[in-house]
Amino acid sequence: MSEPILQIRNLSTVFSTRAGDALAVDAVTLDLNAGETLCIVGESGCGKSITALSVAGLVPYPGKVVGGEVLLTGADLRKMTPAETAKVRGNRLSMIFQDPSSALNPVHTVGKQIAEVYRLHKGMDAKQAEAAAVELLGAVGIPDPQRRMKAYPHEMSGGMAQRIMIAMALACQPEVLIADEPTTALDVTIQAQILELMRQLQKDFGTAIILITHDLGVVAEMADHVAVMYAGQIVEYADVRTLFKSPKHPYTQALLRSVPSMGASQDMLEVIEGRVPQLTNLPEGCLFAPRCAVRRTADESRCTTITPDLLRVGPGHHCRCWLTAPSADESSREVELV
């Protein structure tokens, strides 16, 4: 396979708070190939959104990316000057946020906001940019794009506003699109439309997508590869079929079993006891150990003393667990996702 378009290497982000330093993203390493969709999934507070923001260089204060590399076709985004990053963002790498109505500027028409992308990155004049924006609105399925150009964000429904966001993000046909919960605020029939639109545009432009979501249904629908995060760490990484059919990490297994099924009514759902640990007060050893049902029956002392590495457990399948991963001294030790 060719060189991945985006390589994330040991990316770490710390939030300095009064309660201490919180390692929100802990040495995340991921590859993204052209035209592929990588889903990052996990519960609130697992660090999936901060990972996305760290990649885009948009971590809010008091957070700070403290280490690692983000290589876009080999060039490290973290080593670029602000002027250089500004050229990349919105052009070669762009982002869609969860709540479209708050991500759009309320005092400008949507047409002006989309045209701005073309003016900044493609150096078009106002007329050309407007024409390009109208065409783009049509491409993302906005009826009557000419008239919609003059509309303000508050005049749009959530689904419409998210289409506008996608239009802006894809205006320059970026190589990488980071979508942070793009359909969480939308109804299911609209969600289906937006997911289909993303898939279609990916096919047309060959865009690689990092899709952040907590919805395992959306993951099953969209992903080629999946990274499961817990308390700032990737705990499992696999292609989508492997992850759903033979998950290795106890957290992934429990997460999949806690989703109610549409097929039949179960009596009781499986629950994960306890809650995500506070990042300023992490447990010793495996971060999931205090909630892990497998550990409770296994009696493995390393779980509560030594943090497991993310190890290869099969072709393209990596897992961070003492109990289901091979032991660390085996020859297959291939640290991280290389």
Judge whether 113 and 163 are in contact, CB under 8 Å: no
- Applying CB under 8 A, among 19, 75, 131, 192 the residue interacting with other proteins is 192
| Measured distance CA(326)–CA(321) in Å, rounded | 9
- In terms of Cβ atoms closer than 10 Å to its own Cβ (0-12, 13-18, 19+), residue 239 is middle
* Residue 108 is a binding residue for other proteins (CB under 8 A): no
- The separation between CA 335 and the C-alpha centre of its own chain, rounded to angstroms, equals 22
Judge whether 169 and 178 are in contact, CB under 8 Å: no
Helix orientation angle between 110-122 and 158-170, rounded to the nearest 10 degrees: 10
Rank residues 72 and 287 by Cβ distance to other proteins and give the closer one. Answer: 287
Rank residues 24 and 254 by Cβ distance to other proteins and give the closer one. Answer: 254
Sign of the dihedral through C-alpha 99, 101, 105, 109: positive
- Applying CB under 8 A, among 75, 271, 298, 306 the residue interacting with other proteins is 271
Give the three-class secondary structure for 246.
coil
* Residue 259 is a binding residue for other proteins (CB under 8 A): yes
| Measured distance CA(184)–CA(116) in Å, rounded | 27
Report in angstroms how near the CB of residue 96 gets to other proteins at its nearest: 18
Site for other proteins in 217-256 (CB under 8 A): 217-221, 223, 240-241, 244, 254-256
* Residue 19 is a binding residue for other proteins (CB under 8 A): no
- The separation between CA 75 and the C-alpha centre of its own chain, rounded to angstroms, equals 21
- Applying CB under 8 A, among 78, 214, 302, 317 the residue interacting with other proteins is 214
Rank residues 105 and 200 by Cβ distance to other proteins and give the closer one. Answer: 200
Site for other proteins in 38-97 (CB under 8 A): 43-44
Rank residues 58 and 190 by Cβ distance to other proteins and give the closer one. Answer: 190
* Residue 188 is a binding residue for other proteins (CB under 8 A): yes
Name residue 314's beta-bridge partners. Answer: 317
- In terms of Cβ atoms closer than 10 Å to its own Cβ (0-12, 13-18, 19+), residue 317 is middle
What is the CB neighbour count within 10 angstroms for residue 193? 17
Site string for other proteins, 145-184 (x = CB under 8 A): ------------x-xx------------------------
Interface with other proteins (CB under 8 A), residue total 44
Q: Which stretch binds other proteins (CB under 8 A): 3-11, 269-277, 293-301, 328-336?
A: 269-277
Site for other proteins in 281-320 (CB under 8 A): none
Tokens describing residue 304: 């509560």
Residues that bind other proteins (CB under 8 A): 43-44, 157, 159-160, 187-193, 195-196, 214-221, 223, 240-241, 244, 254-256, 258-263, 265-272, 275
